[in-house]
Structure 1
């Protein structure tokens, strides 16, 4: 059963709700991985510690502390093109042709072409994640506690209300939702009223999520060990499926209806069929250590897992 977040005022103007168990919330994070006990599946490429990965066309982008490494998926043995960014990013997204990286310290979102060209857009509020849309992008503002709507000429408007932190934003058609890791909840974005509306608790400690082709948001509950599925309109918790092993990274293959979830406590990645009434496990592979990031190639279903501890970039062909 879904449980609504209750909002009331307080003297410091920060939102409170009766379901928060502490007045000093701490966002959930990935579990620290043990040394890999099994040989990682597929091909492993040497790489610096990674913070994110995404695939556009035949290009794999991996974010590191030095910038973004661009790999040719048809020539993985070749050295990647290294692209320096104005600052670090913890997320990468793609519109299918290029990549978006949010740079919180620089208050900017950067579009990265597969050839390495950069286009920077100023976005105030410490942007931490950007989600492409046909007419621009939605940007989660961790510092601004809201969502910026980007158009061709920059920020068109900013939506806020009821958030402690905006950490990821999800879009499906004309619907959108935002994940607040501190408040541990998913909120609906109301473009008509121009604000952030109702919210629902997301397990015991949600960290990452993706939108699927069914208009849902699939959210990983890292602390609670579960995969959650929310509909966006109305905002309802439709599924809760147990996933032991400290799930953290998630990617969605819309061609095969597979949600790929990394387990940082066991160094594994699991592929769930999410087209039915509840997720069904289809694949399970050993990974590189600290598998915080995962991406999937919709063309052939290949899965890429990137290690946050320097274990490399792993390419698996299920």
Structure 2
């Protein structure tokens, strides 16, 4: 069992009782973890496949059944019906978002724009951009809303994170992961994956402090909240997904085998299922995590090419997968619950 090592950072205090020596971080410029460049699918994608803009990637689905997907060239966010793929609205954005998240069960949508260092909050029902926060680092990658109301944005190009409240940046911590990627909200905490191989870093949204750090896997990319104080992290270079307790110390619960460059993650809280995109295999792995310590692989389901992101429609249990081959072929795939696993 691995437990976290707490980190000291200038201007930050750490949880009482932690070791005083900081965890070393990578200082080289080794390539970060990236998804596989997928070849053409060898099996027909399951479910419905619809074109919805160029190079779709980040995707979310609200309790209303409305989904949002980030596209580029032209840059924007497309709202669509998660059951049918029918397009509802297109909202142009100043630059492209790689990832989207939801601040609540039905929004607003949080969209970090990598090219213009902005964080948009967008109404999922009517597409209105309600808030634009500027100066959120350099190439902001992902964002998560903690229970305290603080939004934590990962500053992939500059290192560390920024804290946003009431439509403005209220703090930043450059110390910490040199190239943060995905982030998951676990109560008041935000657990951040470092794509350079330095594990998981945990920030308190209330105090805006770095509170713990732990080595996890080889090189992580993305993170998703599970039930309670659990989060899952895609170890893209290590071919696995780790389930971790975050309280705020980080301790391992399970390692799920996921060969094929795992990348996108989504969690169905109602059905206790974790979905993992296997980018090298053009597949999504369905995992039963009702007992996280004894997780069970249920199925690998054929997807569109380059399945970088996945989201769950919480009512039906269907999932939405985004795919793009980089050569002009882009699509969104909707897989019904009856097609996801036996039984």
After TM superposition, is the score higher than 0.5? yes
Question: How far apart are the structure 2 equivalents of 1:122 and 1:7?
Answer: 29
Residue 123 (str. 1) matches residue 135 (str. 2)? yes
1:171-204 Cα offsets, whole Å, 9 max, x none, are 1222222111124310121457643243222211
Q: What is the number of equivalent residue pairs in this alignment?
A: 311
Secondary structure at the aligned position of 2:299 is classed as strand
Alignment of 1:201-212 (within 5 A): 201-212=215-226
Which of 149, 163, 168 does residue 154 from structure 1 map onto? Answer: 168
> 1:64 offset after TM fit, Å?
1.0
Question: How far apart are the structure 2 equivalents of 1:313 and 1:247?
Answer: 18
Does the 8 Å contact 2:78/2:87 carry over to 1? no
> 1:147 offset after TM fit, Å?
2.3
Q: Which residue of 2 aligns with 1:255?
A: 270
Which of 193, 198, 204 does residue 184 from structure 1 map onto? Answer: 198
Q: Which residue of 2 aligns with 1:50?
A: 56
Alignment of 1:1-318 (within 5 A): 1-2=1-2, 23-47=28-52, 48-56=54-62, 57-65=64-72, 66=74, 67-73=76-82, 75-76=84-85, 78-94=86-102, 95=104, 96-114=106-124, 115-118=126-129, 119-126=131-138, 127-134=140-147, 135-191=149-205, 194-233=208-247, 234-276=249-291, 277-309=293-325, 310-318=329-337
Q: Which of 168-177 and 83-92 deviates more?
A: 168-177
Stretches of structure 2 lacking an aligned partner (at least 5 in a row):
10-21, 338-343
Q: Which residue of 1 aligns with 2:17?
A: none
1:252-285 Cα offsets, whole Å, 9 max, x none, are 1111111100111111111111121222112321
> 1:42 offset after TM fit, Å?
0.6
Query: When the two structures are superposed, what TM-score results if normalisation uses the length of structure 1?
Result: 0.89
Q: Which residue of 1 aligns with 2:340?
A: none
RMSD of Structure 2 on Structure 1 (CA): 2.5
Stretches of structure 1 lacking an aligned partner (at least 5 in a row):
10-15
1:126-184 Cα offsets, whole Å, 9 max, x none, are 22211123524221122342222222242222234232122222212222221111243
Does the 8 Å contact 1:293/1:308 carry over to 2? no
Does the 8 Å contact 2:230/2:244 carry over to 1? yes
Q: 1:176 to 1:123 in 2, by over 3 A?
A: same
Q: Which of 242-251 and 134-143 deviates more?
A: 134-143
Question: How far apart are the structure 2 equivalents of 1:301 and 1:202?
Answer: 29
Question: How far apart are the structure 2 equivalents of 1:111 and 1:136?
Answer: 13
Question: How far apart are the structure 2 equivalents of 1:257 and 1:74?
Answer: 20
> 1:19 offset after TM fit, Å?
7.8
